[in-house]
Structure 1
């Protein structure tokens, strides 16, 4: 039995499975690939524990449904979502469902490895949800009320224009608040900001 960290790649595109497998294997990970959500669900109870790299758009059973069924079966492996450009709101729903991160295709190797390492950190550290919620609440306390409103809108999957309309401010002002809250939360990506927002109960 290998002591390498195992990543399950679930994607119906052969080219994605091959390229991502290569990226991960050359970075020292063990990889298993699955060409559909059904194939993975069928064998998951016998699968070795690791993290799951799950595509959103697949025929028959999409990534969100796979995620839901895994949760229903008590599978606790952390999930990283792979998504196309038009699927950000779906990816946000996946994060609300407990996904660690989402990667927008085409993604850089550094982004992939960062998301995978975050998944294994979650396994290793198994921090309780209540501790994460407390940490997130502490971080959100640094935001102004308006910055928190903007973060709430982002956590609901709304674009800047919708948030601006709802709050009665300009899209440019939303962008300014968004930039400021990212600085205060000390994050560089939207998914990192959303992870904090969801842990604190925003976007529900």
Structure 2
């Protein structure tokens, strides 16, 4: 069972029923809405998941909904469902950050594959946040001196250079360096740099 929901936003009752049942049959958690306003009103600020979004709807169009999601820095991933005449608009939306667009009518298999791909992105973001949080916790355990040593180690400086800059013994640098690596859970300066790069989303 996929724990992150798939939000289905389409004003066509038959389409909502058909696609909703299809997604449920394949283990997705589905939340269906007949219009963009109801969908947006239901969202929490930190909502995650995938939105399958119709382009042409009364009231707020799919593009209007997408613009609102962008303005709120939403983490939701959007897949557009568009009729033939909507394709130029959908292509523009993809350029603005939509995950993809599918032309109606699309095959069930194509839709399911896109949803699955999008949910993998959601899972990847969760994993990245988890590693960022873990790195933050480890950084918080460093002493001020260990942080000073870390900055210089990341700059590629040798123990002797670090000792000279901080006016401490080389042996003291070695101890701080060993403690630093142990607390951060790394074995080398390269490992440390990669860990902090992931934390920064690089």
Q: Check whether TM > 0.5.
A: yes
Instruction: State the partner residue of 1:100.
Output: 99
What SS class does the counterpart of residue 18 from structure 1 fall into? helix
Q: C-alpha offsets along residues 111-157 of structure 1, whole Å, 9 cap, x if unaligned?
A: 101110111121122399xxxxxxxxxxxxxxxxxxxxxxxxxxxxx
Answer yes or no: is 1:33 the counterpart of 2:44. no
Distance between the aligned counterparts of 1:87 and 1:25, measured in 2? 27
Segments ≥4 residues shifted beyond 6 Å: none
Distance 1:76 1:93 in 2: 19
Residue correspondences, number:
127
Structure 2 residue matching 1:45: 3-state secondary structure: coil
CA RMSD of aligned residues (A): 2.1
Q: In structure 1, how many angstroms separate the alpha carbons of the residues matched to 2:72 and 2:120? A: 23
Q: Matched residues in 1 for 2:69 and 2:58: separation?
A: 17
CA distance in 2, matches of 1:3, 1:87: 30
Matches within 5 A, 1:7-156: 7-45=6-44, 48-126=47-125
Q: 1:88 to 1:3 in 2, by over 3 A?
A: closer
Range that drifts further, 110-119 or 45-54:
45-54
Distance 1:12 1:20 in 2: 12
| CA drift at 1:94 | 1.2
Q: 1:108 and 1:99 mapped to 2: Cα distance?
A: 20
What does the per-residue CA deviation read over 1:165-195, in whole Å, with 9 as the maximum and x for residues that have no partner? xxxxxxxxxxxxxxxxxxxxxxxxxxxxxxx
Aligned-partner Cα distance in 1 for 2:63–2:25: 29
CA drift at 1:34: 0.7
Structure number with bigger Rg = 2
3-state SS, counterpart of residue 44 of structure 2: helix
CA contact (8 A) 1:53 1:81 kept: yes
Q: Write the distance in 1 (CA, Å) between the matches of 2:56 and 2:111.
A: 18
How far apart, CA to CA, are the structure 1 residues paired with 2:22 and 2:114? 13
Change (3 A) 1:53 1:47: farther
Report the TM-score, using the length of structure 2 for normalisation.
Answer: 0.59
| Counterparts of 1:63 and 1:3, CA distance in 2 | 24
Q: Distance between the aligned counterparts of 2:46 and 2:36, measured in 1?
A: 14
